[in-house]
Amino acid sequence: MKTLSLGAAGPQVQLLQLALQRAGYAPGVSDGVFGADTRRALLRFQRSAGLSADGVAGPLTHRALNPWYTGYVPYTLRRGDSFYRLARRYGSTVQAISAANPDLDPLRLPVGAVVNVPLPFDVVPTGIDWCSELLRFCCEGLAARYPALKSDALGESVMGRPLWLLALGRGERGALFNAAHHANEWITTPVLMKFAEQLARADANNSDIFGKPARELLAKAWIALVPCVNPDGMDLVTGDLASGPYFSAARAIAADYSGIAFPSGWKANIRGTDLNLQYPAGWENAREIKFAQGFISPAPRDYVGVAPLSAPESLALYRFTLSYAPVLTLSYHTQGSVIYWRYLDYEPVGAAALARVFSGVSSYAVADTPYASGFAGYKDWFIQNYDRPGYTIEAGLGDNPLPIGQCDRIYGENLGILTLALDAAGAP
């Protein structure tokens, strides 16, 4: 986290405001602007935490706020502690604490052991703009609450940001869901993260998700979620990256494309390569089409790169896919409320029927990808390489970037698709 003080703005300020609100120090409107209300709330928090009350959110303050960023408290057990007492102290539940610490016997708690105590709110927020720091906190928090959910990185972005991976399930067959290949389609990141949280909670509580028993789903299949393929681009579009050499280089690229708003129109990775035009499935066709449209060098969108898989983000997802060979993939984009299921004349067995099922639970249309966008995408390569069902889901309606206020509605539209895709992956 950056050091934040009066006058700061951006998604990290929204995250600070959210943490203060979660901790009981309402900072007023969570508008992403560090104003007088936010400073007063921060001063109250600093005093209560025994910190120097300077109204500046620096490293020590961020460390003290970490439980409200991640959604859990790491607590060292003392003599006389019990899950019941910890639940009362932190506003949690015995069930949630037990789920977060499955290897501990509640009747024989070892003094000195560290337990993770979930706090009484969802880890994944859907009401603030996202950034790579928020994604990191959420991956940490979900893995702490739900140990069956494994958090890792499948690679790094150009700027060295982790390409987070969340994995869950015990079956032999699996599904891979990815989101935010495109920077200004970052709203798909909280959609996948919210699904990860709901699925992991249902698994831990032995309850249903979209009418399906979570444990039965996860006994038959595993799921891998890559919630943000393009974290550098997300940070650029949401304003978390607003200075420095990478920002300046991106702004210089954008200056040659006056018809594309900066940074809101940016889709590419931070070097100006479109990550969903990087896969070895008709890449030469995509190059010809996009060059004819004028995208012959790094650009805010539609530049295919110097070669397939020349961008580290696309290469990392490609390699991960080859390593685990999922039987089904979903790639989340915005917008249009449409489902694309085919690549050229490839029609994997069952793919069309499952697309119609997805349409039925979402009201999204099923369509063929427009020719000008029909090559070198992740879905295209997956279908070509495996002849298995792969889908691009264009979620929501409007102009990118879609406002975060659409997130809950988009999630509701797609919960059925996400759940039934996992169910299909586990089918023999």
Strands 365-367 and 338-340: parallel
Residue 121: other Cβ atoms inside 10 A: 13
Tell me the torsion sign for CA atoms 368, 290, 154, 235.
negative
Instruction: Compute the mean pLDDT over every residue in the chain, rounded to the nearest whole number.
Output: 98
DSSP states of 48-83 as a string?
Answer: HTT----S-B-HHHHHHHHHHHHSEEEEE--TT--H
Torsion angle of the four alpha carbons 99, 104, 106, 112, in this order, in degrees rounded to the nearest 10 = -120
pLDDT tens for each residue of 19-65: 999 999 988 778 999 999 999 999 999 999 999 999 999 999 999 99
Long-range CB pairs of 60-69 (<8 Å, 24+ gap) are 62/1, 65/16, 65/19, 65/20, 65/23, 67/23, 67/119, 68/18, 68/19, 68/20, 68/22, 68/23, 68/119, 69/1, 69/15, 69/19, 69/137, 69/141
Task: Examine the pLDDT at 201 and tell me if it is beyond 80.
Answer: yes
What is the Cα–Cα distance from 128 to 18, expressed in whole angstroms?
8
CA atoms within 13 A of residue 261's CA, in its CB half-sphere: 7
pLDDT over 70 percentage in the chain? 100
Say which range, 115-124, 187-196, 350-359, 368-377, has the weakest mean pLDDT. 368-377
**pLDDT (0 to 100) of residue 26:** 86
pLDDT tens for each residue of 359-403: 999 999 999 999 988 999 999 999 999 999 999 999 999 999 999
pLDDT tens for each residue of 147-156: 999 999 999 9
Structure tokens at 270: 């931070």
DSSP 233: H
Of the residues 185, 197, 394, 413, only one is catalytic, namely 394
What is the Cα–Cα distance from 97 to 82, expressed in whole angstroms?
10
Q: Where residue 14 falls among pLDDT bands split at 50, 70, 90? A: very high
Q: Where residue 248 falls among pLDDT bands split at 50, 70, 90? A: very high
Any idea how long the chain is? 428
What is the Cα–Cα distance from 155 to 136, expressed in whole angstroms?
14
- The identity of residue 7, as a single letter, is G
Q: Where residue 267 falls among pLDDT bands split at 50, 70, 90? A: very high
As to burial, measured by CB atoms within 10 angstroms (0-12 exposed, 13-18 middle, 19+ buried), residue 245 is: exposed
Q: Where residue 118 falls among pLDDT bands split at 50, 70, 90? A: very high
**pLDDT (0 to 100) of residue 191:** 99
Listed residue (122, 199, 152) closest to 422, CA to CA: 199
Task: Examine the pLDDT at 104 and tell me if it is beyond 90.
Answer: yes
E strand or H helix at 390, and its extent? Answer: strand 390-395
- The identity of residue 103, as a single letter, is D
E strand or H helix at 178, and its extent? Answer: strand 173-179
As to burial, measured by CB atoms within 10 angstroms (0-12 exposed, 13-18 middle, 19+ buried), residue 300 is: buried
Strands 173-179 and 328-334: parallel
Residue position matching structure tokens 């037990």 = 98
Residue position matching structure tokens 């790639």 = 331
pLDDT over 90 percentage in the chain? 98
Tell me the torsion sign for CA atoms 378, 387, 308, 376.
negative
**pLDDT (0 to 100) of residue 362:** 98
Listed residue (277, 424, 411) closest to 355, CA to CA: 424
Which residues neighbour 249 within 8 Å (Cβ) at sequence distance 6 or greater? 270, 271
**pLDDT (0 to 100) of residue 29:** 78
DSSP 9: B
**pLDDT (0 to 100) of residue 240:** 98
Task: Examine the pLDDT at 354 and tell me if it is beyond 90.
Answer: yes
pLDDT tens for each residue of 273-328: 999 999 999 999 999 999 999 999 999 999 999 999 999 999 999 999 999 999 99
Listed residue (207, 210, 208, 228) closest to 155, CA to CA: 228
Over residues 153-177, mean pLDDT = 98
What's the gap between Cα 167 and its chain centre?
13
Q: Is-catalytic flag, 394?
A: yes
Domains, the chain, with CATH or none = 1-68 (1.10.101.10), 72-118 (3.10.350.10), 124-428 (3.40.630.10)
